[in-house]
Structure 1
Amino acid sequence: MEEFGVYAVFDINGPPQRLLSSDGSCRVSVAVPASVRQVVLFSSGPWGDRICVCAELNDADRIPITIGKLTPYNKCLSWEQWEEETWTDGVTLTVSLEGGHLSKSEPELILAVKEYTPKNTVAPLTARELSGKRKREQSSESDDVGEAGEEENVCPNGGKDKAPAAARKVRGQSSSRQKLFGDRAESSRTKTVSEAETQELVGKTPPQSASRTKSRQSRTPTQTAPLIEPSGRWGQTLCPIDAQTAILIGGQGARMQFCKDPMWKLCTEDTSWVAAETLAEGPTPEARIGHTAVYDPDSERIFVFGGSKNKKWFNDVHILDTQSWRWSMVEAQGKVPPLAYHSCSMFRGELFVLGGVFPRPNPEPDGCSDSLYIFDPHLSIWYQPIVTGDKPSPRSGHSACVIQERYIYVFGGWDTPVCYNDMYMLDLGLMEFSAVKTCGKAPSPRSWHGSAVLSDTRFLIHGGYNGNNALSDTFVFDTETSSWTELTLPQLSVPRAGHSIVIMETPGRHRPSEDNDGDEEVRSGSVRRTLLVFGGGDNEGRFYSDVTSVPVEDLLRAL
C-alpha cells in the first residue's frame, strides 16, 4: 500500500518534493526560492488516523501571508505570488502534521529547495492556534487593489458630478487614514465607481475593552493566542440557523484583505464566538464579499450565493448542511449571472435573488441588475419567473424583507450615480411588483444598510451609506399603515455600513427596581427576542467586530 506523504511543487517546472512522510518529522520548514512564483502543496496515500496538515506561508519578516490546511477532504492547496500582495523574497513554507502516531518530540526539519538556504525559519502554529483558519484549495487572502480595484464592480450611467468614488490605495503608499468610500470630489473620473468597489475598505476596529483588543486578529508574528472573536470586517453575512445560533461567513477587513478567519459560530446564550472554519468538512467557499447566505429550516441547510473577490465574480451556490457540518457545491442548471450586493430571500424552499452588480466586458463599465432569479434546490436549477407590475429600477446594496410569508419589501440601494430611498413590494402569490406609497419621515437615500423583520407587520432599517458618509439612524416601517417611524436609540448611534442585522433569542432579564438597587437578575429559563448588529465600517477608517444588542420589545415600545 502506498505510504502517506505530503509533497510540495515549487513553480511550474519544479518536481514534487516530499516534506512529510509516515516515518519522518512531523514539522518541516522550507525556504521558497526567490525565483518561485507558485507553490502547490498536496498529500498522497491513505490518511489513516491523521487529522490535518497545517500549512503557513510567512514573509521574510515572519509575518503570515496565508494559512491553509490539508484534510482528508481537501488534499491540495496552492498559492500564487500575484494573488498575494505581501509575497516578497524570503518566503518560508512551514507545514506540521496533526494526528496519527508520529512522535511529538521529533525536532523540526529544515529543508532547502534547489540549494537555497533559508535565512529564517518559522515554527509552525499549533493545531489550537490554527482554529478557525482557512482550508481552501486556493488560499489567497489579499485584495490587490493596484491591479483589480480599478476594474471591479463599476456601475454604468455614472455622472461626473454625483458619482462617489472609492479611495485608492497604491501598493507601497502609506496613509494614516483611509475611508470606506471616497468623496464625491473624486467623481470627475471618466469611469465612475460603483458601490461594490468599496471593497477598498481600510481601517481598524474602534477602541474597546482590553480583553477585546487583545483578541483582534493581527498580522504581527508576536500574536500567538487564537482569536476568541471575529476580526473587524464588512460585506459579510450573519445567518441564524436556530433561535440562539448564527453562522458568520466571509467579509473583508483592514488593509483591503479578505478575512483570514472567514467563518464563526455565534451563540447568544452568552454572546460567545466559536471559530467554525475547521468544524465543517468539504470544499469551503472561496473568500468573498457582497454574497448572501440564507438558511432553510426545512432542510437545515445554509445556501451561500454570489459575491466578488478582486477581479473574480461568483454565481456559484455552496450549501452547508448544519447537521453533518459538511460543505457541498451545487452544479446547477439554468443561467444566472455572477452577482454581488444583491438580495436573496427564502420562500417555500426556493431562493429569490433580486438585483445586484454584475460584470461587463471592458471597456463597458459594470452594471446593476433589475432581474429576479429563482433557485430551486430540489431540482438544482435556476429560472426566471414571469413577473408583472411596476418593478424596481436596477440597483444593488438594497434590502429585502419577507413579511407574512407572502410579500417581499425592497428598500433603497443604488445604481451609480443615483442612491434610492424608494419602496417596492413583490406579491409572491401573484408574482406582481408594485411601488409602495409611504407616509411619515422616510429614511434618506442609502445602500449597504441593515434590515430585520420585527413582527408580522414591521421591519427595521439601520445605517448604510448615502454616497458620502456612513449613517447611524434607525427607522421602522409598518406595512399595515405604510408609514415610517424614526427611532432614537443610544445603542445604535454608531455610523456603519456593510453590517449585518439579525433577530435572535437571548437570556431574559428583570428590569431594575428600587428593591434591588438597580441590579439586573437573570430570570431562570426566560428568553427574549433581541436585535443584534455586527460588523461594518464607518467610512473613517474603522471596522467593527462588536455585537450590539437591542431588545425587540424596547424597539416596539419606542414606536
Structure 2
Amino acid sequence: MEDFAVYAVFGADEPPQRIANLRGPVGRSVIEPSVPQIVLFTRGRWENCSSVSVELNDEKDMLITLSKLTPFNKCVSWELGEDGVWSDGATLNVNIEGIKTELLDPALTITQKEYTPECNTTSVAPRAGLGKRKRSRGEEEEGEDIRGQENICPNSSEKVTPQRRGKNNARTGQTRLFQQKEEQSTSRTPPIPKAKGKQQTKAPTQTDGPSGRWGQTLCPIDPQTAILIGGQGARMQFCKDPIWKLCTEDLSWVPAETLAEGPTPEARIGHTATYDPDSKRIFVFGGSKHKKWFNDVHILDTQSWRWTMVEAQGKVPPLAYHSCTLFRGELFVFGGVFPRPHPEPDGCSDSLYIFNPEMAIWYQPIVNGDKPAPRSGHSACVTQGKIFIFGGWDTPVCFNDMFMLDLCLMEFSAVQTSGSAPSPRSWHGCAVLSESHFLVHGGYNGNDALSDTFIFNTDTNCWTSLACSQLTSTPRAGHSIITMATACVKGSSDDEEQVAESQTLLIFGGGDNEGSFFSDLITMPVKELCK
C-alpha cells in the first residue's frame, strides 16, 4: 500500500491535493473565500503515526475550529454556512503526530516541533474500551459563527468563574445565558439575544477536564463510569472537547472523543443522551447548533466502543430542549422546541414520540387524558411505570406544574401536589433518588438562574424543600444531574470484604446567567438527601 499522506478537497469540483505526508508532516494551505466546502482525509498505512491534528484559522489567524484524524476517524469536513467561517479566506494547518523517529531526519524533526499548532491535543490510544488515562487540553477553541436565536448571548468581557468544589474550574468569558424578562422576544425558545460581533480573543486554557459549559448531557453507564456529551461554553462557542469519560472512583476525567470508532455526533446543545442497561448502548437524539436543528439518532455501543448513526423509519421533527426517557427498551420523547417558518422562528411541542431501537422506527402512540401544554426545557423521569413531567418554558410562560403519563394506560393526568413546591423554572436538573422520590435542582425562571433544591414524593404527591448548602450555594441552569450506584466496603467477615452498594448524586456544569460557565463536579451521598 502507498505511503501515508493527508489530502484535502476544496470544493466539490476540485481534485484532491496532498497536504502532508511522513516526509513532510507539517502542511499549510490557504483557502480562498469562494470555497464552499473543505474535505480532509487520509490514505495509506497508519502504523507509522498515531494521529493528525487539523487547525482551521480565519484571515486574521484566529482559530475557527480544531479537529483530529485517527485510524478510526479518517475524514473530516466543514461547510462555509455551518461549521466553517472563512468568508474572507482562511488557512488550513495540518500536523501528523506520533511519527516513528527512525522515519525522520533531525532537521525534519525540528521543523515539525516549530510548526506544531499550540492548540493540538495529545493522542490517546484505546485500551480495553475507555481506559483511565488523563491528558491535558490546549486552549478552548474560538470562532464558531454566532447565528441562531436559540444559542446566542451578549457581553464578552472576561470574568473569572468562582472556585467550586471539584477539580476542574476554568476561567470563562462573561456571557449571559439568558435575556432579561423585559427584553424577551416572542420566540418560544428561552430567549438568548445576539452577541455584538465576532470575538477576537482566544479562550482560556482548560486542563484536566471538560471546559465550562451548559446544555450538555451526562450519562451513567456503570457504577464507575459516566459519559459527557456536547454542550456550549463561553461566548456561546460549541465545545470542541465534546465527549469525556468520568471515572467515579477518583473523580477523574478522560477525553474520549477519539477513543470510539465510527462517526461521532456533530457538536450540539439541547440534545438528550439515554443509556439502555440491557443493550448497553447510549442513544443521542436531537439538539441544535446555530440555525441547524437535528432529529438524528446516534448510538454509542459501550461494549465495542463504536458510534453508529441510525437510518430510522417513521417521522419525528427536529427537536431541542425536549425530554427523553427509557421504558422497556423504547425511548419516549416529549415536548421540546422545533423550527418553523416566519413569523415565529420556533414553536414548542406537546407531542409524544416513541423510538423503537429494535425496529429502528419512530411512531406516535395514541394518548388519552389531560395532556401538558407545549413546553421545552422541562424535566421528565420514569419511576413505578410512570413518567413525571415537571416545569419548562413556552414564552412568555414558565411552568411549575406536574403531569404524569401512565405507561400502562398511556394516559396523561395533572398531578395535584402539596407541600413546598418549586417556583416556575426551566433548564433545571432532575434525578431519580429512589422508587418513590426524585430531586429537582436549580434552573432558570425568566430572569435569574436558581439554586434551590426540592424532593418530590410520588407516593404522597408532596414536595419538600431541601436545605443543603452544598447544593444551594451556586445558582446554575443547563447543568447535568445524575445518580450512580457506587460500591463501597461495608466490613469484613472471615477475611472476606463485605461490599455494599450506595447511591451518589453528581452535578456537573451549567451557567449562572452572569457570565460564568462551570466545569465543577459536585458529589453527595443520596442517603444524606433522603433523611
For normalisation by structure 1, the TM-score amounts to 0.79
| Correspondences of 1:345-384 after superposition (within 5 Å) | 345-384=325-364
Which residue of structure 2 lines up, in the alignment, with residue 19 of structure 1?
Answer: 19
Partner of 1:215: none
1:307 to 287, 294, 315: 287
Q: 1:31: how far off?
A: 4.5
Give 2:428's match in structure 1, choosing from 443, 449, 457. 449
Distance 1:220 1:109, change over 3 A: farther
1:72-91 equivalences under 5 Å are 72-82=71-81, 83-84=83-84, 91=91
Fraction of identical pairs, as percent: 60
Counterpart of 2:145?
144
Question: Using the alignment, how far apart are the partners of 1:87 and 1:489 within structure 2?
Answer: 51
Counterpart residue number, 2:187: 193
Contact 2:175 2:236 in 1 (8 A): no
Residue 529 of structure 1, aligned match among 495, 503, 506: 503
Task: Work out whether residues 213 and 234 of structure 2, in 8 Å CA contact, stay in contact via their aligned partners in 1.
Answer: yes
Q: C-alpha separation between the residues in 1 aligned to 2:516 and 2:158? A: 14
Contact (CA 8 Å) 1:442, 1:484: kept in 2 or not? yes
| 1:437 partner letter | Q
* Pair 1:545-2:525 in alignment: no
- Go from structure 1 to structure 2 and tell me whether the alpha carbon gap of 1:88 and 1:201 turns closer, same or farther (over 3 Å shift): closer
Contact 2:285 2:296 in 1 (8 A): yes
- The one-letter amino acid paired with 1:21 is N
Tell me the distance in 2 between the aligned counterparts of 1:449 and 1:219: 30
- After superposition, where does 1:245-256 map in structure 2 within 5 Å? 245-256=225-236
Write out aligned runs for 1:412-427 (5 A).
412-427=391-406
Q: For the structure 1 residues 88 and 555, does the alpha-carbon distance in structure 2 shift closer, same or farther, using more than 3 Å as the test?
A: farther
Structure 1 counterpart of 2:372, from 392, 395, 400: 392
Unpaired segments ≥5 residues, structure 2: 125-133, 136-140, 160-173, 491-496
Task: Give, in angstroms, the shift of residue 544 of structure 1.
Answer: 0.6
Q: Structure 1 residues 423, 31: closer, same or farther in 2, change over 3 A? A: same
Partner of 2:108: 107
Structure 1 residues 344 and 200, CA gap change in structure 2 (3 angstroms)? farther
**Is residue 188–residue 348 contact of structure 2 (8 Å, CA) maintained in 1?**
no
Q: What is the CA-CA distance between 1:39 and the residue it aligns to?
A: 3.4
Q: Deviations over 1:259-288 (max 9, x none)?
A: 011000111111111111111110000000
Residue identity opposite 1:466 in structure 2:
N
Aligned with 1:129 (options 86, 105, 122): 122
Matches within 5 A, 1:10-409: 10=10, 15-21=15-21, 24-32=23-31, 38-47=37-46, 50-59=49-58, 63-82=62-81, 83-84=83-84, 91-98=91-98, 102-103=103-104, 105=106, 107=108, 122-124=115-117, 129=122, 142-145=143-146, 148-150=147-149, 152=150, 167-168=153-154, 177-187=174-184, 189=185, 192-198=186-192, 219=202, 227-404=207-384, 406-409=385-388
Question: Aligned equivalents of 2:426 and 2:275: distance in 1?
Answer: 23
Rounded Cα–Cα distance in structure 2 between residues aligned with 1:34 and 1:372: 44
Given that residues 28 and 110 in structure 1 are in contact (C-alpha distance below 8 angstroms), is that contact kept between their aligned partners in structure 2? no
Residues 31 and 92, structure 1, Cα contact 8 Å, conserved in 2? yes
Change (3 A) 1:175 1:543: closer
1:353 partner amino acid: V
- The separation in 1 between residues aligned to 2:106 and 2:487, in whole angstroms, is 46
Q: Which runs of 5+ in 1 are unaligned?
A: 112-120, 134-139, 154-165, 203-217, 511-522
Superimposed CA distance per residue, residues 76-119 of structure 1 (whole angstroms, 9 cap, x where no aligned partner): 222345544588656351321445774384616989xxxxxxxx
CA distance in 1, matches of 2:263, 2:452: 39
Q: Determine if contact 2:154/2:193 at 8 Å carries over to the other structure.
A: no
What letter corresponds to residue 472 of structure 1 in structure 2?
S
| Secondary structure at 1:554 match in 2 | helix
Deviation at 1:426, TM superposition (A): 0.7
Q: CA deviation at 1:56?
A: 1.8
Q: Distance in 2 between matches of 1:290 and 1:381?
A: 22
- What is the count of residue pairs matched by the alignment? 489
Aligned residue in 2 for 1:8: 8
Residue identity opposite 1:219 in structure 2:
K
Alpha-carbon distance between aligned partners in 1 of 2:499 and 2:26, rounded to the nearest angstrom:
48
- Bigger shift: 473-482 or 68-77? 68-77
Pick which of 385-394 and 9-18 moved more.
9-18
Alpha-carbon spacing, 1:143–1:357, altered in 2? closer, same or farther (3 Å): farther
Matches of 2:488 and 2:195, distance apart in 1: 36
Instruction: Name the CA distance, whole Å, in 2 between partners of 1:524 and 1:265.
Output: 28
Separation in structure 2 between the aligned mates of residue 141 and residue 380 of structure 1, nearest angstrom = 37
- CA deviations over 1:5-46 (Å, ceiling 9, x no partner): 211234566543212235x22333445467766533222345
CA distance in 2, matches of 1:199, 1:304: 27
- Alpha carbons 1:26, 1:108 under 8 Å: kept: no
Quote the offset at 1:179 in angstroms. Answer: 1.4
Please say if residues 322 and 377 of structure 2, whose CA atoms lie closer than 8 Å, have aligned partners that are also in contact: yes
Spell out, residue by residue over 1:173-228, the C-alpha distance to the aligned partner (whole angstroms, 9 max, x if none): 868743111112213x5xx13335549799xxxxxxxxxxxxxxx9369x5xx831
SS of 2:104's equivalent in the other structure is: coil
Cα distance in 2 between the residues matched to 1:95 and 1:233: 28
Using the size of structure 2 for normalisation, the TM-score is 0.83
How big is each residue's C-alpha offset from its partner over 1:485-508, in whole Å with a ceiling of 9 and x where there is no partner?
001111112100000000124575
Deviation at 1:68, TM superposition (A): 1.1
Superimposed CA distance per residue, residues 471-521 of structure 1 (whole angstroms, 9 cap, x where no aligned partner)? 1000000011110000111111210000000012457599xxxxxxxxxxx
Q: Is the 8 A contact 1:201 1:254 kept in 2?
A: no
CA pair 525-227 structure 1, distance change in 2 beyond 3 A: farther
Q: 1:201 to 1:220 in 2, by over 3 A?
A: closer
Does 2:458 correspond to 1:459?
Answer: no
Label 1:88 to 1:197 Cα distance change in 2 as closer, same or farther (>3 A): farther
